[in-house]
A and B are shown apart, each in its own frame.
Chain A
């Protein structure tokens, strides 16, 4: 038995039946990480000692024949924009390369309380900004299915690690597809919960009205187990809400599936379209009712998103000022450190507070982060606020309303997760708009705050294709039910 291939339930059963110890389980992952991470670079930090000591504790509990929660002893990986106390947390950025988390995120606290073993921190696009994993300041993650291709972003390391058996499951965050896109590109399951269903306390904020933490896993059941563990109202996040436990009696013959005509347009890779349509046909043959629906404001979603997200991001990233924590140019105050070169290449010393800000931020942020900070600052600046930010918030209402209308007629909506197959490294990095288009089928879901999952549905030339299932707000559990059924049908 290869321990690194197990799902959560299989690993849990193995621990209970003493087929292997928690220490053996963790060690087999640590060995595999040592061998594989040099190549695919999914981990930014491996916390070997911490993981081993966590695993030992679980073995002690097993010896005492205590009942164990399902995640006890299960090795997992945390995206490096989620805080784990006393462990470095970089958000994939130079500006936080020296930052150690002083406390646990609520989701981490919840995982630890079950006894999950944290193996390390996952690589990501800087501040979770990017669709390919290429924007990490520490180096890019590779797609385990094809090393010449991107794993998708921004939860690049989380997805690649699950696909490459470097952890059982991983946490990621999704602002405009950052869990679902890499899950699709790496051939695994990625779930973005309803906005607010999971506490964001301890998640390094990108765009606060869109960010949500969720799981990347080997199958739908695992995604559900992790969601059960991390979801719930948290007094430290006032936007958090309780997701409804579903009593959804599920029979595929009663299921109404919506297919939005705006999502099957030209621009979708024919190979992707074919695989998705074949899957939908299978569900229809099993008795599901397929309905064509319309989400008329879909064509405005990308523009709306690329105003709201950078606006919120520019405000959130204002906190990296070189004063409170993280990398700072303030030390250049002191002789003899004057000789450090500034961006412009001239030798200069820090003059005043403004200078500390300009130099710290000018040096600490990568190109794409700067581009979006500039875009957001522009959209929020005097004279442009109404034309951009306020307008986008109003169109956001129309996009939400589209989904509300649709969910009167259907139970779930199906779309491709991404219009293309995993693309080549370097292919889109020069052209920001073409990179942004990768997220086009996912961002409306974040704007409307809905739950959605990407499940692997087929392959084209060894490259995975993901199917996105979108549900009504707070019906996270219903999505799991539907996704588990589809998962079974698709692999029959």
Chain B
């Protein structure tokens, strides 16, 4: 069983604000799913390389050139920010 403290730690890492009831419930859900993962302990992978992508493509490169973007598109992207001043995105104090 995963402890309440552990769930709170993970929630903070995940940047999820959770209520106490939810922390309790998630602890239970996560524990049962993690128990199921124990199944993988039986597999011998000592000589196996990991697969991160199923189709093996490597080092897709392009010329390191700045592309000209349409200013309207850029403005539209900035305009999607909930808080801004002129063309800057506003952020609450970090510390």
Q: Who on chain B is nearest to A397 by CB?
A: B51
Across the interface, A397 reaches (CB within 8 A) one of B22, B49, B94, namely B49
Q: Told that A353-B92, A391-B40 touch, could you supply 18 new A-B pairs with CB distance under 8 A?
A: A195-B53, A195-B54, A239-B55, A241-B55, A300-B40, A300-B43, A303-B39, A306-B33, A307-B40, A325-B81, A325-B82, A330-B90, A333-B83, A352-B93, A358-B17, A374-B10, A378-B2, A392-B40
- Are B33 and A322 in touch, CB under 8 angstroms? no
Is A1 located at the chain interface by the 8 A CB criterion?
no
Known: A238-B60, A344-B19. A102 touches B30 (CB 8 A): no
Q: Who on chain B is nearest to A432 by CB?
A: B29
- Are A374 and B53 in touch, CB under 8 angstroms? no
Chain B 50-75 interface residues, beta-carbon cutoff 8 Å to A: 50-55, 57, 60, 62, 73
Residues of B within 8 A of A100 (CB): 80
Write the nearest CB–CB distance from B29 to chain A, whole angstroms. 6
Write the nearest CB–CB distance from A342 to chain B, whole angstroms. 7
Chain A 460-486 interface residues, beta-carbon cutoff 8 Å to B: 473
Residues of B within 8 A of A344 (CB): 19-20
A370 to B76, CA, bound (A): 29
- Are B54 and A449 in touch, CB under 8 angstroms? yes
Residues of B within 8 A of A392 (CB): 40
A280-302 contact mask (Cβ, 8 Å, vs B): 1 or 0: 00000000000000000101101
Across the interface, A304 reaches (CB within 8 A) one of B7, B14, B40, B89, namely B40
- Are A102 and B80 in touch, CB under 8 angstroms? yes
- Are B30 and A398 in touch, CB under 8 angstroms? no
* A-B contact list, 14 entries, CB within 8 Å: A300-B43, A302-B36, A314-B14, A321-B15, A350-B92, A352-B93, A353-B93, A359-B17, A361-B15, A392-B40, A393-B50, A394-B49, A395-B45, A398-B45
By secondary structure, the A interface counts as helix
Write the nearest CB–CB distance from A414 to chain B, whole angstroms. 21
- Are A377 and B83 in touch, CB under 8 angstroms? no
A-B contact count (CB 8 A): 177
Write the nearest CB–CB distance from B53 to chain A, whole angstroms. 5
Is A225 located at the chain interface by the 8 A CB criterion?
no
Chain A 423-466 interface residues, beta-carbon cutoff 8 Å to B: 432-433, 447-450
Q: Who on chain B is nearest to A240 by CB?
A: B57
A396 to B40, CA, bound (A): 11
Interface residues on B, range: 35 or more
Interface residues on A, range: 35 or more
Is A133 located at the chain interface by the 8 A CB criterion?
no
Q: Who on chain A is nearest to B29 by CB?
A: A371
Across the interface, B82 reaches (CB within 8 A) one of A302, A328, A362, A371, namely A328
Is B32 located at the chain interface by the 8 A CB criterion?
yes
Across the interface, B92 reaches (CB within 8 A) one of A333, A345, A363, A450, namely A333
- Are B15 and A323 in touch, CB under 8 angstroms? no
Interface centre among B37, B50, B94 (most CB of A within 10 A): B37
Residues of B within 8 A of A278 (CB): none
Known: A330-B92, A352-B94, A358-B17. A297 touches B43 (CB 8 A): yes
- Are B92 and A355 in touch, CB under 8 angstroms? yes
Known: A328-B82, A358-B15. A323 touches B91 (CB 8 A): yes
Is B48 located at the chain interface by the 8 A CB criterion?
yes
Residues of A within 8 A of B95 (CB): 352
Write the nearest CB–CB distance from B43 to chain A, whole angstroms. 5
Is B77 located at the chain interface by the 8 A CB criterion?
yes
Known: A374-B26, A378-B10. A357 touches B57 (CB 8 A): no
Residues of B within 8 A of A375 (CB): 30, 33
A239 to B51, CA, bound (A): 14
Is B13 located at the chain interface by the 8 A CB criterion?
yes
- Are B62 and A377 in touch, CB under 8 angstroms? no
Is A201 located at the chain interface by the 8 A CB criterion?
no
- Are B45 and A99 in touch, CB under 8 angstroms? no
Chain A 232-258 interface residues, beta-carbon cutoff 8 Å to B: 235, 238-239, 241
Write the nearest CB–CB distance from A326 to chain B, whole angstroms. 8
Q: Who on chain B is nearest to A363 by CB?
A: B17
Chain A 376-404 interface residues, beta-carbon cutoff 8 Å to B: 377-378, 381, 388, 390-398, 400
Residues of B within 8 A of A397 (CB): 45, 48-51
Known: A381-B10, A449-B54. A322 touches B82 (CB 8 A): yes
Known: A194-B55, A304-B40, A432-B29. A330 touches B17 (CB 8 A): no
